[in-house]
Structure 1
Amino acid sequence: MAWILLLLLSAACLQAGHSVGPNRERLLNVIQPINLSGVEGGSIEIPFSFYFPWELAEDPDMRILWRWKDFHGEFIYNSTPLFIHEHFKNRFTLNWTQPQTSRVLRILDLKKKDQTKYFCQFQLNSKRGMESLQSIVGTQLTITHGIRTTMQSSFIVTSAVTTSGLEDTGGLRKISLVNLGATIGVVVATAVLITPVCVLMVFLWRKQR
């Protein structure tokens, strides 16, 4: 009988633990997409939101920060005081004010080097003190080649074909001029040879008469 009670108690504890887990994750979490892709030279938006159970202090002093490359990577953005990494100068926009808990980070004029992971972190003052929470997985950003590169390649190929055609035409013109010169030469040579013969024949004809 005691064994049955122990089993029932264990099952009840496990069930309670599973039911509380998702709620705890919901109350303390930073949510952002796992994967995003953008076009080189274009822009990308990384949405984010965060949840916390703490009771805020009178002056929560909330701030948003972003890291890149890995979980402990270099900070590339800080909302207060405002800081933007040199690599992202004039390319970062984040219109956020406290106490908003969701917003969008926008990166403009994407470059190949931007292809990496991005981690959102928020900090605030609660009645317990300074609190901080950061996304664990982050967002993997993939950069692909833009349409402008393809158009440029097509233009280069077309130009090469056109140039090649002009070069061929010039060759044909050169051949035609050579043939014309040869023909004129033959005509002149023939005239030079035939003229004395004709004069001799006329002289003999007159002599016979």
Structure 2
Amino acid sequence: MSRKWKALSLKNKLDILKKVDEEPKKRCIDMAKELGLPISMLSTIVGQRDRIMQTVQHFGVNSKEAKTAHHVKLEEVLLTWFKEVTAAGVNVDGKALREKAAGVALTLGIDNFQASGGWIHRYKARHDLCYKTVCGEGKKVDASVVEVWVATTLQSFIAGYGAHDVFNIDEAGLFHNLQPEKSLCFKGEACQGGQKK
């Protein structure tokens, strides 16, 4: 057994707890030897089972460590705001998040808060956020609506025209890009037209 300290991820801790559950009658010292862990570390992991399960539920299995925020209320308010504005189709970049965080900190009376780049990075990691490029108007219309329209209405429009009357025309429009090109969204979500799937 190595005398070096090991940092275990939440996944490692879950695997250890699973192994302990599979062999409940095995002595703690024997289990620790089998797993290559000091007995004190194994005892700590088993003793903190509920906390580990809650942490996995909140941060996910892939987190190496689960550090909580210094200003929990600020982050709760900010995450609620983030979910509301992204659901409404507003793109949120780091600058907007930083400004909102500073405003919320003032409202909550937090004087020592700095919405620095490091804070943004840690906030994104804690809440599983990432930047994604927003893709135009993709997915603004439900595909089933389009299929029904093509099968019914479109046929009545083109029935009276011959092949010599068919032309190709694309929609033209003036696009005013007022929102950021990239937006924060939860990892694993598609970022299309400001709408998250």
Asked if TM exceeds 0.5, the reply is: no
Under a length normalisation based on structure 2, what TM-score does the superposition of the two structures give?
Answer: 0.23
Q: Which has the higher strand share?
A: 1
Name the structure where helix makes up a greater proportion of residues: 2
TM-score, length basis structure 1: 0.22
